[in-house]
A and B are shown apart, each in its own frame.
Chain A
Amino acid sequence: MTLYWIGDALLIVVILPVVVILLRGVLQTAQGIVPSVREVARVAHAGSKDLDAAALLLTTQQQAIDTISTVADYGGSLDVILDDHEGA
C-alpha cells in the first residue's frame, strides 16, 4: 500500500507537471508560429500582386528596341552627312 501512495505522489508531483510543462511549451511555440506564417502568406500574396505590372516589360522591351533602331538610323544618317574628324 505504501508503494501505491509513493507511486501516486510521484505521478502527481513529478510526472504530471513535467508533462504539462513540456506540452505547454510545444503549444506556445506552435501558436507563436501562426502569426508569422499568416504574415508570410500576406506578403507573398501582396508581392505577387505587385508583379502584375511585370508583363509591361514586354512593351518596354519592344519600345526600347524601336527606340534604339531609330537612334541607329539617325546615327547612320549623321554618319553620312557629317564629315569625319581629321584624326579619325
Chain B
Amino acid sequence: MPAAGVVLLIAVVAVVGALVWFLVNTILALKTITDGLDEAIAGVGEIVAKTEPVNGVVTTINQHLDAGVSALEGLLVKKAGLTDAMGLIDGLYPGAAAQGLREVPDSTGVRVPRIGAVYTRGTLTLARLGREAPIAAASPNGPAVRNPLYATSSASALYPDARQGRPAAMPRSPVIGTDAPVQYQPTDEPGVRRHLPGRTAVLEPPGSTGESGAPPPAPEQREERSSRWPPLIPRWKRF
C-alpha cells in the first residue's frame, strides 16, 4: 500500500473516531437532559394538580368576604349615618375614610368628623354599637353624646375600675356647715377626734393603745409634727 493510502486511512479513522467520541458524549448529555426534563415535568404536573382547586376556593372565599363587607358597611351606614360611619371608620383605622365605602360611592366626598380625636379606640368600639353603648346612654333617643371637653373622663368611665366603686358605691361628700345633720368637733391632732358622732370617745387615753407607759409626745415634737409639709389640716378646717 502506498504511503499516501496509509495516511488517508489514518485520517479517515481519526475523523470517524472524533465523530464517535463527540456524538456519544452528546448522546449521553441529551439522555441526562431528557431524564431531568421528565423529572421537571412530573413536578410541574404535581403543581398543576395541587393548584387546580385553588382558584375556585379563593373565589368562593372572596365572594363570602365581599358579601360580609357589603352587609357590614350597609349596616353601619344604616345605623350611624354616612357621616358618623365614616368618622368611626377613620377613628378606628386612620386614613381609611379616604378610600370610602365600597358599596357607597358618595362616601369619599364626606367630610369626616374627627371622632377619633375625641374618643379612645375602645370607646369607638363601644360607640359602634350605637345608642345602646354607655357613651350614648344619656340620649338614647337622640344623637350620640360626644362632648369634646369631657371626653377623657367619659372614656375612662367606660373601663373597669379595680375598686368597682365608680360612681354608685363612692362615699358621698359630707355635708358641712352649721346646719349639717352631723356636727363634727374640732380636733387637736390630724385624724384624731375627741368624739365621733354616734360613737364613744376616739381619743384613747394614754396606755390603752398597746404602748403602755409611753408618755405623750413632748410639746416640741408636736410642734415639729405640726410644721410638716404639706400641713395636715383637719378636714373640717378645709372648708
Question: B30-43, CB under 8 A of A: which get 1 and which 0?
Answer: 10110011011111
> Is there an interface contact between B40 and A27, defined as CB atoms closer than 8 Å?
no
A71 to B130, CA, bound (A): 17
Question: B64-92, CB under 8 A of A: which get 1 and which 0?
Answer: 11011001100101111110100000000
Question: B45-75, CB under 8 A of A: which get 1 and which 0?
Answer: 0110011011001101100110110011001
Distance between B57 CB and nearest chain A CB, rounded to angstroms: 4
A14 to B7, CA, bound (A): 15
Contact flag A85-B51 (CB < 8 Å), given A11-B11, A40-B36: no
A15 to B7, CA, bound (A): 14
> Is there an interface contact between A88 and B33, defined as CB atoms closer than 8 Å?
no
> Is there an interface contact between A34 and B32, defined as CB atoms closer than 8 Å?
yes
Question: A69-88, CB under 8 A of B: which get 1 and which 0?
Answer: 00110010011011111111
> Is there an interface contact between B43 and A79, defined as CB atoms closer than 8 Å?
no
- B217 part of interface (Cβ distance < 8 Å): no
Closest to A16 in B: B15
Distance between B25 CB and nearest chain A CB, rounded to angstroms: 5
Main secondary structure of the interface of B (DSSP, over half): helix
State how many residues of chain A have any CB contact under 8 Å with chain B: 54
Distance between B73 CB and nearest chain A CB, rounded to angstroms: 10
A1 to B84, CA, bound (A): 110
> Is there an interface contact between B79 and A85, defined as CB atoms closer than 8 Å?
yes
> Is there an interface contact between A44 and B130, defined as CB atoms closer than 8 Å?
no
Question: Within 8 Å CB of A5, what residues of B?
Answer: 4, 7
Distance between A31 CB and nearest chain B CB, rounded to angstroms: 5
Interface of A toward B, CB cutoff 8 Å? 1, 4-5, 7-8, 11-12, 15-16, 19-20, 23-24, 26-27, 30-31, 33-34, 37-38, 40-41, 43-48, 51-52, 54-55, 57-58, 60-61, 64-65, 67-68, 71-72, 75, 78-79, 81-88
The 9 closest A-B pairs by CB, nearest first: A44-B43, A23-B22, A37-B36, A4-B4, A30-B29, A48-B46, A41-B39, A85-B81, A51-B50
Interface of B toward A, CB cutoff 8 Å? 2, 4-5, 7-8, 11-12, 14-15, 18-19, 22-23, 25-26, 29-30, 32-33, 36-37, 39-44, 46-47, 50-51, 53-54, 57-58, 60-61, 64-65, 67-68, 71-72, 75, 77-82, 84, 129-132, 141
